[in-house]
Amino acid sequence: MPINYYIFLAITLFCIGIVGVLTRRNAIIIFMCIELMLNAVNILLVAFSKMHYLAAATANPATNVGSEAQLFVFFIMVVAAAEVTVGLAIIVMMYRNIHSVDINFLNRLKH
Amino acid sequence: MNVIILSAILGVIMMYTGVMSKNKSTARYVATAGILALIGANWLEFAGVNFFNIDTRGMLEFTSFGLVFNLIILVCTLVYFLLSGKDLEEVGANAADYFALIFFILTGIAIVSAFKTMLMLFIGIEIISIPLYILAGSDKKNLRSNEAALKYFLMGSFSTGLMLMGIALLYGATGTFYTDGMYLGLGNITVMKMAGLVLLMISLGFKVSAVPFHFWTPDVYDGSPTVFTSFMATIVKAAFFIAFLLLFENAFGRMHSEWQFAMALITAATLIIGNITAVFQQSVKRMLAYSSIAQAGFMLLAIFALNNIGKQGLILYTAAYSLPTIGIFAVLMRMKDYTYEGFNGFAKHQPLLAALLAVFLFSLAGIPLTGGFFAKYYMLVAAMKNGAMFWLVIIGVCCAAISVYYYFRIIQAMYFREGADPGIQVSEGFKTVLVLTAVLVIILGVHPDWLLHLLDN
Amino acid sequence: MNITEILFWFLTALAILSALMVVFSRNPVHSVLWLILVFFAISGHYIMLNAQFLAIVNLIVYAGAIMVLFLFVIMLMNMNSDSEPQKNKWLKMAGTVAGGSLLLILVAALKNSEVQYQKVEGAQGTIGLIHNLGKTLFTDYVVPFEISSVLFLSAMVGAVVIGKKD
């Protein structure tokens, strides 16, 4: 597979995530779209890792070039898990107070 | 390494303090002792004594620049604990946990002042951000605090997503995460590296609230409990700046001229918008939020110039901006009325506090004999030395002049207006610490060299 | 077209369509289910790239833990398409146009990037297997690994602080 296919796939998913962040008002959905963006990054990193591996393996078949990107993906997942706990805690806290997860709700309260 | 490990351990100790001790103030004393220990450990590392010998495989590098920066951050945190520790206990019932989160943030700050790979940058920024979301929302019943936490959280994770995309593209182009190993020289600039750079610039722009990525800042700073706004707007903001500077110096330093113009535009916009909007604010807390954007514009000059004077200036700016702002917030927290009118006649009822506030405001406005003057001076000289864009220096000078207006409004209200007694109670200890802070600010303004000499070690 | 290509296109189409459904379905529960489908498609891609460890971790952590948490919260709040707040038409249009333009710009810019002739061979190499990754993680990457424990601790403390009753 040419690397470009993977780049386009990742960018498409990333931009769909951005569209979701821009067009939705439900805080949980916005957060899910951010997770989608992170996953787009993950797949791009794995594809790049294999690409660099292939380039290095022609010279040295025993190389482990590319494992650093896969470990980076692992760390992204770690951080995402931590972020989800905090994010959902904040959203639930807000829901307990105003019974809504609409990000514009508070703006409406002010006016 | 000393600070990273010790402050993580201190965070755990604080968690236990909350469980073990029923007395509310114990946590504050333990935290203050802990921060003193951290300052000692940082100083020892500066003198070459390492408690821990860990092979980080080149992922962290402890330079004198990073260590001096850490020292300033720790001293500011000490001042913050001494001045605002009591107010921190008033927010909710989890004072010990808040202190624990602050120690975890300090771990993150120590990491971002020493990172050499994108992985450490990413983890460090997340360790700083995640506790901050909590602190912003710690006033659980207050809707504005909830809104601040939610906004901060969504903007923070969105900008993290952009940053990761930038890192991924740079990895694809260069095959490494090490900032030094990327060899992003002038000759071999390509679209992929450029796209990565732009995404990183945008995401860090979000973090330091540079215009046009600043729109979340006023709401978040205004909505959060004031005691945490004080921490966010000073110490954490400086930490993001150090990450910004180190990244752009190490990874993109050799292609400086490619991105310099974009950075100049961001800097100019931040200076102009931050200062002009600050003029129109009625609440002092909100004014300080906008003034933090305006001061960020000056700090961005260091990244724009990317030379040695700029780095010295950033160190000086961290001290000369954080200390006064923490002091002003500490007094503001005790006021009932956050508008300018609340300060009417303040000098008559609290002459000492009013004089100290005036010193702090002078420093923020950049009046000579205070630290803020030299900080701004170094930044403007750095931009001038760089020589590429002189108009930016002119904008900087004009904006410094505008900023005098809104800082002096408080002084005018304090000294030249009549008003009722605000009725604030301050202890002798609070006054002593505030006086010492003001003395520190003035020493920085008379003789900044002693701080900068540390950098030559 | 051989089997690898067919699978690649199938998984890509599945991922993109489900991602679109995440954004455009009105019912939040449906959004979560579509997002789980995206994660399965991405895991399929990982397996095709011989990144087996990440494929499994992706399923366990994302589809298994994170998404269940989301689903749990959504059901707790009893959200459905009637209570779903909607932005007005113009804001939606503007958001879509902005995202689309970004996509266009990035695709146009990266179409002729320096790596465009490089290839990815899924079947080749064993760097994605747990043997290699585990060894690297606990030798070269042990410092970030330990430091990420601070991240977890702070998230844990934070969630408790926010969640518990005063």
Task: Please write the tens of the pLDDT for every residue from C34-63.
Answer: 999 999 999 999 999 999 999 999 999 988
CA–CA distance, B114 with C71 (Å, rounded to integer): 39
B185 touching C, CB under 8 A? no
Q: What is the pLDDT of residue A106?
A: 67
Mean pLDDT of C117-145: 88
How many structural domains compose chain B?
1
B158 touching A, CB under 8 A? yes
Residues in chain B closer than 8 A to A71 (CB atoms):
119
Show the tokens assigned to B318. Answer: 């961290």
Residue B127 domain boundaries: 2-456
B11 and C153 in contact by Cβ < 8 A?
Answer: yes
DSSP B139: S
How many structural domains compose chain A?
1
Q: What is the pLDDT of residues B294-308, one digit of tens each?
A: 999 999 999 999 888
Q: What is the pLDDT of residue B388?
A: 73
Long-range CB pairs of B445-449 (<8 Å, 24+ gap) are: B445/B320, B445/B363, B445/B368, B445/B369, B445/B370, B445/B371, B445/B372, B445/B373, B445/B374, B446/B369, B448/B316, B448/B371, B448/B374
What CATH class has C1-83?
mainly alpha
Q: What is the pLDDT of residue B136?
A: 93
B172 and C115 in contact by Cβ < 8 A?
Answer: yes
Q: Identify the CA nearest to A34 among candidates A46, A10, A18.
A: A18
B2 touching C, CB under 8 A? no
C20 touching A, CB under 8 A? yes
A87 and B153 in contact by Cβ < 8 A?
Answer: yes
Residue with tokens 């961290």: B318
Asked if the model's pLDDT at residue C7 lies above 60, the reply is: yes
Which chain B residue's Cα is nearest to C157?
A: B97
Of B180 and B244, the one with more pLDDT? B244
Q: What is the pLDDT of residue B301?
A: 92
Asked if the model's pLDDT at residue B208 lies above 80, the reply is: yes
A82 and B130 in contact by Cβ < 8 A?
Answer: yes
A 10 A CB-CB count for A108 gives: 9
Q: What is the pLDDT of residue B396?
A: 92
Q: Identify the CA nearest to C95 among candidates A25, B213, B196, B195.
A: A25
HSE value, Cβ hemisphere, 13 Å, CA-based, for A100: 17
Query: Which stretch of DSSP H or E encloses residue A38?
Result: helix A27-57
Q: What is the pLDDT of residues B359-414, one digit of tens each?
A: 999 999 999 889 899 999 999 999 998 877 889 999 999 999 999 999 999 999 88
Q: What is the pLDDT of residue B184?
A: 66
CA–CA distance, C10 with B436 (Å, rounded to integer): 68
Q: Crossing angle of helices B256-279/B390-416, nearest 10°?
A: 20
Q: What is the pLDDT of residues B280-331, one digit of tens each?
A: 998 899 999 999 999 999 999 999 998 889 999 999 999 999 999 999 999 9
A 10 A CB-CB count for B398 gives: 13
Q: What is the pLDDT of residue C117?
A: 83
Q: What is the pLDDT of residue B142?
A: 87
Residue A105 domain boundaries: 3-110
Sign, CA torsion B47/B51/B57/B60: negative
Residues in chain A closer than 8 A to C47 (CB atoms):
none
Q: What is the pLDDT of residue B141?
A: 87
Q: What is the pLDDT of residue B49?
A: 85
- Full-model pTM: 0.95
A 10 A CB-CB count for B390 gives: 10
CA–CA distance, B282 with B263 (Å, rounded to integer): 31
Nearest to C69 among A16, A73, A88 (CB): A88
B274 CB-near residues (< 8 Å, 6+ apart): B211, B214, B290, B291, B293, B294, B295, B296, B297, B399
Q: What is the pLDDT of residues B71-83, one digit of tens each?
A: 999 999 999 999 9
Residue B416 vs residues B347, B398, B408, B409, B419: alpha-carbon distances, Å? 9, 26, 11, 10, 10
CA-based nearest distance A34→chain C, Å: 11
For chain B, give the percent of residues with pLDDT over 90: 64
A103 and B134 in contact by Cβ < 8 A?
Answer: no
Nearest to A38 among B133, B161, B175 (CB): B161
Q: What is the pLDDT of residues B166-191, one digit of tens each?
A: 999 999 988 899 998 876 666 667 88
CA-based nearest distance A54→chain B, Å: 12
Beta bridge partners of A2: C119
Asked if the model's pLDDT at residue B342 lies above 90, the reply is: no
Beta strands in C39-153 (DSSP E): none
- Report residue B55's pLDDT band, with 50, 70 and 90 as the boundaries: confident
CA-based nearest distance A59→chain B, Å: 16
Mean pLDDT taken over chain B = 90
B308 touching C, CB under 8 A? no
Lowest mean pLDDT segment, chosen from B140-149, B185-194, B407-416, B447-456? B185-194
Beta strands in B191-324 (DSSP E): none
Neighbouring chains to C with at least 3 Cβ pairs closer than 8 Å: A, B
CA–CA distance, B310 with B299 (Å, rounded to integer): 9
Residues in chain C closer than 8 A to B108 (CB atoms):
150
Which chain C residue's Cα is nearest to A20?
A: C23
The alpha carbon of B310 is separated from its chain's Cα centroid by a whole number of angstroms, namely 16
Q: Where are the domains of chain C?
A: 1-83, 126-166
Sign, CA torsion C128/B116/B166/B206: positive
Q: Identify the CA nearest to B433 among candidates B76, B162, B137.
A: B76
Per-residue pLDDT tens, chain A, 111 aa: give them: 889 999 999 999 999 999 999 999 889 999 999 999 999 999 999 999 999 999 888 888 888 888 999 999 999 999 999 999 999 999 999 998 888 888 887 666 554
Beta bridge partners of B60: B115
Residue with tokens 């019943």: B141
Which CATH number characterizes residue A27's domain?
1.10.287.3510
Q: What is the pLDDT of residue C40?
A: 95
Q: In degrees to the nearest 10, what's the CA dihedral of B312, B314, B317, B322?
A: -130
Residue B181 vs residues A73, B59, B175, B354: alpha-carbon distances, Å? 20, 12, 9, 52
Q: How many helices (H) and strands (E) does chain B have?
A: 19, 0
Q: Identify the CA nearest to A48 among candidates A6, A111, A12.
A: A6
Nearest to C161 among B59, B97, B141 (CB): B97
CA-based nearest distance B330→chain C, Å: 24
Residue C124 vs residues A56, B55, C11, C119, C129: alpha-carbon distances, Å? 12, 32, 20, 11, 12
In a mutational test of the A interface, the residue from C12, C23, C105 whose CB has the highest number of chain A CBs within 10 Å is C23
CA–CA distance, B342 with C38 (Å, rounded to integer): 55
Lowest mean pLDDT segment, chosen from B37-51, B225-239, C74-88, C130-144? C74-88
